[in-house]
Amino acid sequence: MKTLYYGGPIHTMETDGTVEALLTENGVIAAAGGLERLRSWAGDAAEIDLEGRALLPAFIDAHSHFSGAAHALLQAPLDEAVCFDDIADALARFIAAGHIPKGQWVVGKGYDQNALAERQHPPRAVLDRVSADHPIMIVHQSGHMGVFNTLALDLLGVTADTPAPAGGAIGKAGGELTGYMEENAFLHYQEKIPMPDMDDLMDAYRRVQRMYASYGVTTVQEGMMPESLIPLYRMLLERGLLELDVAAYPAVDALDAVCAAFPEAVRRYHGHFKVGGCKLFLDGSPQGRTAWMRTPYQGAADGYCGYGTMTDDAVRSALLAAYRSGMQPLAHCNGDAAAAQYLAAVAAIEREHPDFRDLRPVMIHAQLLDIDQMDETARLGVIPSFFIAHVYQWGDTHIKNFGLERASRISAAKTALDRDIPFTFHQDTPVLPPDMLGTVWCAVNRQTKSGVTLGAEQRIPVEAALRAVTVNAAHQYFEEARRGTLRPGKAADLVLLDADPLAVSPEKLRDIRVLETVKAGETVWRA
């Protein structure tokens, strides 16, 4: 099947910039250039007049949690809650609307203590009053912490005497459990919660792909794949349910098992799935005050700087394991101390194995990677993937946590651009929707919810922001020969927008809407 696109700006993201027409055939870009020349080749191609609308390479998700986003569709949304009562009411409505039987787990997602009137995480008593017959867990918007009700704690075997795993915390007050947990403790017990009904879950995977595609995304990430997801992915592949490409990054200790389970998908796609590398987790969340910093948080009388989750030796051992297996390492680093730990470990491995940099190590989030650390980042070949939407979503909280001067340097994309570092952007979905154009708006404008301009000197041009979610993201995945630009021979992964992001005013960027998303020449979403 051939399709000829013309009649609007076609941004190739190549050096030729914008072309007059684009011809695709059998899922691949056949030609790009002048309309009359391409028409002479097109033969019986279907013609699509863009009518002034813009065509770009489809967007590439540089980091998210695909399964987490699918599960979130089966959870009670709490992101609009502004007080404890709102959380309790939302959970109660969810249980009633779903006719959830007694004994079945209930999960709520997306509360943020910074947005609550009480300005703290709700205690388990708030969840207990929702139901004493349902084990309940609520997940913070960052995904790094949450709260369990009493029944949930009992079923998980957590008591006031239960020690927290290293790099995590179990909340207590007066010797009693509060129900709150963070970082490794929360992740440990979260993994023990039973899976939802399989048919419901398979339907959620279908729906979540449409959600990603509605934002123009055709490549997504499974950002921390545990062994427990192996049977689920086998079912997805057996049923042919993956329409978008999914790159999985297991934890280092799960890497061998995942690779053994999917040998045909190691570093290459099989049924739209590949094992792309492995994931390390070095610290927490800045808005949750668990990111590991070199300087104390504002108002922390005890000099509290957050904390790391791995020892230096453990980080080096994980990177060495990645090197020996030839797998790309991704490391979650929010704070500048975590970034320093990762950079030091990468430097140590590269001194012994200079070709380690060929694995293109990635620093996920890199929010507080500071300007004085950028030269080392460039020297080592580390790719920072900035969660730059934090500028808008939690910028005001970061000002409170770090002060305006330090907060203004979060996601220092302009510094990275000036040093020719191929940075990428992401939304850490399900933390935020995979809204690439909203993220581009954040990078270009750097405004907080309250209207504060946070680091005007770190604003970047629109084209550079678009490259972060196309060209650079393809490079991060070792897929620059296959996608990221509109060049003959590459996959026909396209996004059609209702306005040209390179022509509208910067403040209008987040108002642009995706009209159609094309994956390998086939429409996977249309408005």
The answer on pLDDT for 318 being more than 90 is: yes
The answer on pLDDT for 144 being more than 90 is: no
User: Tell me, what's the pLDDT at 78?
Assistant: 94
User: Tell me, what's the pLDDT at 507?
Assistant: 97
pLDDT band at 66 (very low <50, low <70, confident <90, very high): very high
Q: How far apart are CA 72 and CA 484, in angstroms?
A: 28
Whether the Cβ atoms of residue 109 and residue 240 lie closer than 8 Å to each other = no
Q: HEC states along 274-288?
A: EECEEEEECCCCCCC
For residue 241, the surrounding DSSP H or E stretch is none
Put simply, whether the predicted model's pTM sits higher than 0.75 gets the answer yes
The answer on pLDDT for 16 being more than 80 is: no
Nearest alpha carbon to residue 304 among 315, 288, 325, 326:
288
pLDDT band at 166 (very low <50, low <70, confident <90, very high): confident
Q: How far apart are CA 18 and CA 56, in angstroms?
A: 10
With H, G, I as helix, E, B as strand and everything else as coil, classify residue 321: helix
Query: Could you report the per-residue pLDDT of 344-403, keeping only the tens digit for each?
Result: 999 999 999 999 999 999 999 999 999 999 999 999 999 999 999 999 999 999 999 999
Q: HEC states along 361-417?
A: CEEEECCCCCHHHHHHHHHHCCEEEECCCHHHHCHHHHHHHHCHHHHCCCCCHHHHH
The answer on pLDDT for 98 being more than 90 is: no
pLDDT band at 197 (very low <50, low <70, confident <90, very high): confident
Q: 3-7, 58-62, 79-83: lowest mean pLDDT where?
A: 79-83
With H, G, I as helix, E, B as strand and everything else as coil, classify residue 473: helix
DSSP 8-state class, residue 465: H
Q: How many residues does the chain have?
A: 527
Nearest alpha carbon to residue 279 among 204, 358, 361, 349:
361
The answer on pLDDT for 167 being more than 90 is: no
For residue 49, the surrounding DSSP H or E stretch is strand 46-49
Nearest alpha carbon to residue 492 among 469, 514, 520, 522:
520
Nearest alpha carbon to residue 58 among 233, 256, 212, 188:
212
User: Tell me, what's the pLDDT at 120?
Assistant: 93
The answer on pLDDT for 168 being more than 80 is: yes
Cα 456 to the chain's mean position, in Å? 24
Dihedral sign from CA coordinates of 449, 455, 457, 459:
negative
Query: Could you report the per-residue pLDDT of 376-388, keeping only the tens digit for each?
Result: 999 999 999 999 9
